[in-house]
Amino acid sequence: MLEKYVDYVLMCSGCAYCLSMCSTFDKFKLEPYGARGLMTIARLILEGKLDLTIIPPDVIYTCPNCGYCDTRCRGENTDVLEALRADLVKKRKGLPKHIGFGEWAEKGHNPYYEPHEERFAWLPKIERKIPQKAECIYFAGCTSAYRIQSIAKATVNVLNTAGVDFITLGEEEWCCGSPLLRTGQRYLAEELAKHNLEAIERTGVESVVMSCAGCYRVFKRDYPKLGLKPDFEVLHTTELFQELLSEGRLKPKKKIEMKITYHDPCHLGRHGGVYEPPRDVIKNISGLELLEMTWIKEETRCCGAGGGVKSGYPDLALEWARARVADAELTGAQAIVSACPFCHRNLSDAIETYGLTPSKVYDISELLAQVV
């Protein structure tokens, strides 16, 4: 995999601009933990001067793949890192915790070691629609389906209120493959991707909407890189909510008096370019006062859960989430709002673990469901 990026690796000038707000480099204060160091490692491997397997796992696996370094030089640093991980997995040197959830994702179609048949247990039986022609498919994603079902339930509530004719894939919905791609398990991710695309295309729908920023990124950006271009429109829920509000299909009827701040998920923002739709939805909810943090949009600070860090280094993920909650506290907000179940979970875990303020995290769908 690494050979694919040889031109980019050789172009790195070592300017260190990529280190300006790198959480991993800030944590370890050692060159190999930043993108510049990783480019050096990659170059030495390509030149045959370094054996990838002797590099300490922490160097390769503590990066949350947030993509901030890519915005500094408009580069492919995170792609190079994922290629290093893929090469390690090929050499059977992947992180054991990652390999474990990868094996279950292949068997049970989710990374949470949950029974596949329970994927839509949160959805009332009357609403478990059999795939057929409809306006769109709601792709719930593993984290909403198994860990933060309030997001999935709220999304379904909003879609029903707006009169959106949607279906789910039921047991035909498998993990999107994002956690596998991020941790180097590319071959397994390809299997999941092929299955999902085939299952969706059989329904004949023209669009798929998803709650998870990771699912959104993988459908929009990663599937095409695998040579699997979706033959349908891919929307994040915030994009669809914005559209439904502008068309008058959604009309907020209640107020929520609360000061909130919005956290841009890396996969939705930096990787997907979706910044304004979530904020537009927030502005349509009467009573909400949006107080922006210092680091937002392209320069947002990562919640710390991505890239396999949440599973491989949970304490580190919580430490970075704690820093992001501290950013939110400085605004005076009463709650953090985001648009990714993974961010929701890690920020909430940090708040609960450390007793932080703001003390509550909401997904935009949860707030919208309260007012429509």
Range(s) for CATH 3.40.50.1860 in the chain? Answer: 96-244
pLDDT of residue 113: 97
Mean pLDDT over residues 57-78, rounded?
Answer: 93
What's the whole-number average pLDDT of the chain? 95
User: Are the beta carbons of 285 and 318 closer than 8 angstroms?
Assistant: no
* CATH class entry, domain 96-244: alpha beta
At 293, list the tokens: 């943090």
- Residue 261 β-bridge partners: 336
Predicted confidence (pLDDT) at residue 132 exceeds the cutoff of 70: no
| Helix boundaries (H) for the chain | 6-11, 23-28, 35-46, 57-61, 68-73, 77-90, 96-108, 142-146, 149-161, 178-182, 186-203, 213-217, 223-225, 237-246, 276-283, 309-312, 314-329, 341-354, 364-371
pLDDT of residue 20: 87
pLDDT of residue 29: 95
User: Are the beta carbons of 232 and 291 closer than 8 angstroms?
Assistant: no
Question: Which phi and psi (to 5°) does residue 227 adopt?
Answer: 80, 25
pLDDT of residue 133: 73
Predicted confidence (pLDDT) at residue 226 exceeds the cutoff of 60: yes
Return the minimum-mean-pLDDT range out of 55-64, 126-135, 217-226, 246-255.
126-135
pLDDT bin (cut points 50, 70, 90) of residue 219 is very high
pLDDT of residue 130: 59
* CATH class entry, domain 252-371: alpha beta
User: Are the beta carbons of 177 and 222 closer than 8 angstroms?
Assistant: yes
Predicted confidence (pLDDT) at residue 126 exceeds the cutoff of 80: no
pLDDT bin (cut points 50, 70, 90) of residue 125 is confident
Mean pLDDT over residues 31-49, rounded?
Answer: 96
pLDDT of residue 82: 97
Q: What is the pLDDT of residues 280-332, one digit of tens each?
A: 999 999 999 999 999 999 999 999 999 999 999 999 999 999 999 999 999 99
Pick the closest to residue 274 from 303, 243, 232 (CA basis).
243
Predicted confidence (pLDDT) at residue 240 exceeds the cutoff of 90: yes
- Calculate what percentage of the chain has a pLDDT beyond 70: 98
Q: What is the pLDDT of residues 144-159, one digit of tens each?
A: 999 999 999 999 999 9
pLDDT of residue 370: 97
Using alpha carbons only, what angle is made at residue 362 by residues 128 and 22, rounded to the nearest 5 degrees? 115
pLDDT of residue 209: 98
